[in-house]
């Protein structure tokens, strides 16, 4: 298999793009695609400061790397959730098994990444140090261990928004890839979660001066391509998924989509992009945003949280502060 | 040739494509990337007798 551009041996067959690329051309192609998405969806401009949510995984580090290579002012933000491995081991991309804590190893990857890139700045928020409990303990105290992923998401969204707002960033960039997006889209469609279907998009606009715009520059990238970029670029990322994601529905749906993709190349891309297009053209419509979603509720529904001052659609405390109050 | 995925190692006959080798051990070629001598290789690559091919999982299910 040869590179479609130069004829050298290809490392990757991007069937959905009808393109086969060698390593050097793939390393050019990936950031170009990221830049194209940023422009197409008007995510941010060249002068904007961006806060990248980095987890130590392949997607967020690949995104951070691509943004830096494209010349954006992209700072990293790592939230230490205090997650420990549940069983035996976790692998890094070098394949070595190491005992230890998952969050600590993830942070090591972020530090190593930044150390290798002059000018890459990042900040770390340690949830236990700042709030008194790590996220798994918080979940246990709240009897929400079975819903770790949603609780974790709530904590991350709140802390990211606060840091981005206080730091004067124009947008928060996350490493959600196309596989993440289609898995979420299908789950929401299966349950007709119209509120979520109304707002799933590569850009979540700000609805309040203290709610920072959220963007997903990898939303059109296959997860496979994101992983390949991280590998070829020599990014040392956390290889295993979060221990709490084991058996997660999102993984089941990703596997399902891969089976479909084996039979019908390009299905993932079509499913997502045609959904966005149909909604934009009004061929499908969902009710507007509902109360209770603090990220993007309409401005008229938002007021200041009594405790932290962040916008909320609740009567007194935001969901994050309520969580800690109930603990 | 050896195929390695997480803690598992398979000994397979050489001469088949990487894609066939992945399928032979029951994995989905869409869900792994193949690395030989530290280099990513495409799924049509023919495997050699002394090859040691490591498979890297593509799917992740949530950041830390």
Give me the interface pTM, i.e. the ipTM: 0.93
Closest CA to A172 of A160, A162, A184: A160
Q: Return the SS3 of B34.
A: strand
Pseudo-torsion of CA A312, A74, A96, A30, nearest 10°?
Answer: 110
Q: Is residue B62 part of a domain?
A: no
Q: Is residue B7 part of a domain?
A: yes
**Number of neighbouring beta carbons within 10 Å of residue A281:** 8
Tokens representing A202 are 């590569």
CA A248 remoteness from chain centre: 16
Task: List all residues 6 or more positions away from A81 whose beta carbon is below 8 Å from its beta carbon.
Answer: A103, A127, A134, A135, A136, A152, A155, A156, B64
Q: Is residue B50 part of a domain?
A: yes
Q: According to the model, what pLDDT value does residue A96 have? A: 41
**Contact between A220 and A33 (Cβ < 8 Å):** yes
Q: According to the model, what pLDDT value does residue A173 have? A: 98
For A114-150, how does the pLDDT look when each residue is reduced to its tens digit (9 = 90+)?
999 988 999 999 999 999 999 999 998 888 777 788 8
Interchain contact A124–B (C-beta under 8 A) = no
Number of domains, chain B? 1
**Contact between B53 and B35 (Cβ < 8 Å):** yes
Q: Distance between CA atoms of A92 and A58, rounded to whole angstroms?
A: 10
Q: Which one-letter DSSP state was computed for residue A282? A: T
Q: Is residue B29 part of a domain?
A: yes
Q: According to the model, what pLDDT value does residue A86 have? A: 66
Interface touch B61/A83, C-beta < 8 Å: no
Q: According to the model, what pLDDT value does residue A295 have? A: 58
Q: Distance between CA atoms of A189 and A194, rounded to whole angstroms?
A: 8
Q: Distance between CA atoms of A313 and A302, rounded to whole angstroms?
A: 5
Interface touch B43/A20, C-beta < 8 Å: no
Q: According to the model, what pLDDT value does residue B64 have? A: 41
Interface touch B58/A223, C-beta < 8 Å: yes
Digits of tens for pLDDT over chain A (327 positions)? Answer: 999 999 999 999 999 999 999 999 999 999 999 999 999 999 999 999 999 999 999 999 999 999 999 999 999 999 999 998 865 444 444 444 345 689 999 999 999 999 999 889 999 999 999 999 999 999 988 887 777 888 999 999 999 999 999 999 999 999 999 999 999 999 999 999 998 899 999 999 998 999 999 999 999 999 999 999 999 999 999 987 788 876 778 889 999 999 999 999 999 999 999 999 999 999 999 876 554 455 566 677 888 999 999 999 888 999 999 999 988
Backbone angles phi, psi at A286, to 5 degrees: -130, 155
Instruction: Among A13, A97, A175, select the one facing B42 at the smallest CB separation.
Output: A13
Within 13 Å and on the Cβ side, how many CA atoms surround B15? 1
Q: Distance between CA atoms of A216 and A173, rounded to whole angstroms?
A: 6
Q: Is residue B11 part of a domain?
A: yes
Q: Which residue bears the tokens 């029951």?
A: B26
Q: Is residue B64 part of a domain?
A: no
Interchain contact B64–A (C-beta under 8 A) = yes
Q: Is residue B63 part of a domain?
A: no
| Domain encompassing residue B18 | 2-57
Q: According to the model, what pLDDT value does residue A290 have? A: 53
**Number of neighbouring beta carbons within 10 Å of residue A61:** 28
Domains of chain A: 31-287 (3.40.50.620)
Q: Is residue B42 part of a domain?
A: yes
Interchain contact B29–A (C-beta under 8 A) = yes
Q: Distance between CA atoms of A231 and B41, rounded to whole angstroms?
A: 11
Among A311-315, B10-14, B36-40, whose mean pLDDT is lowest?
A311-315
Q: According to the model, what pLDDT value does residue A296 have? A: 61
Instruction: Among B29, B33, B44, select the one facing A1 at the smallest CB separation.
Output: B44
For A257-280, how does the pLDDT look when each residue is reduced to its tens digit (9 = 90+)?
999 999 999 999 999 999 999 999
Identify the CATH number of the domain in which residue B34 sits: 3.10.20.30
């Amino acid at each position: 298999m040869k590179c479609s551009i130069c004829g050298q041996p290809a490392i990757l067959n991007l069937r959905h793009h009808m393109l086969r690329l060698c390593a050097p051309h793939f390393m050019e192609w990936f950031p170009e695609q990221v830049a194209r998405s940023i422009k197409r969806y008007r995510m941010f401009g060249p002068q904007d400061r961006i806060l990248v949510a980095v987890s130590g995984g392949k997607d967020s580090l690949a995104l951070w790397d691509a943004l830096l290579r494209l010349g954006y002012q992209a700072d990293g933000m790592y939230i230490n959730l205090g997650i420990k491995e549940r069983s035996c081991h976790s692998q890094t991309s070098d394949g070595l098994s190491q005992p230890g804590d998952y969050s600590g190893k993830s942070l090591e990857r972020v530090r190593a990444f930044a150390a290798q890139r002059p000018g890459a700045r990042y900040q770390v928020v340690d949830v236990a140090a700042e709030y008194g409990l790590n996220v798994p303990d918080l979940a246990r105290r709240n009897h929400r261990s079975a819903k770790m992923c949603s609780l974790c998401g709530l904590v991350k969204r709140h802390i990211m928004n606060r840091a981005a707002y206080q730091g004067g960033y124009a947008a928060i960039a996350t490493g959600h890839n196309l596989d993440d997006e289609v898995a979420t889209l299908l789950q929401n469609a299966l349950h007709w979660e119209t509120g979520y279907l109304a707002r799933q998009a590569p850009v979540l606009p700000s609805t309040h001066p203290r709610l920072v715009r959220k963007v997903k520059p990898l939303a059109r990238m296959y997860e496979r391509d994101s992983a390949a970029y991280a590998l070829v670029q020599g990014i040392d990322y956390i290889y295993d998924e979060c221990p709490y994601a084991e058996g997660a529905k999102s993984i089941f749906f990703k596997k399902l989509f891969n089976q479909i993709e084996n039979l019908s190349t390009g299905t993932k891309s079509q499913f997502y992009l045609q959904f966005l297009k149909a909604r934009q053209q009004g061929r499908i419509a969902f009710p507007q945003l509902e109360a209770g979603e603090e990220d993007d509720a309409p401005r008229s529904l938002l007021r200041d949280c009594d405790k932290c001052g962040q916008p909320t659609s609740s009567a007194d405390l935001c969901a994050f502060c309520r969580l800690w109050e109930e603990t | 040739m050896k195929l390695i995925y997480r803690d598992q190692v398979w000994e397979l006959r050489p001469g088949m494509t990487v894609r066939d080798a992945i399928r032979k051990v029951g994995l989905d070629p869409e869900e792994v990337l193949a690395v030989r001598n530290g280099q990513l290789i495409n799924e049509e690559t023919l495997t050699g007798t002394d090859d040691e091919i490591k498979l890297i999982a593509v799917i992740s299910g949530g950041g830390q």
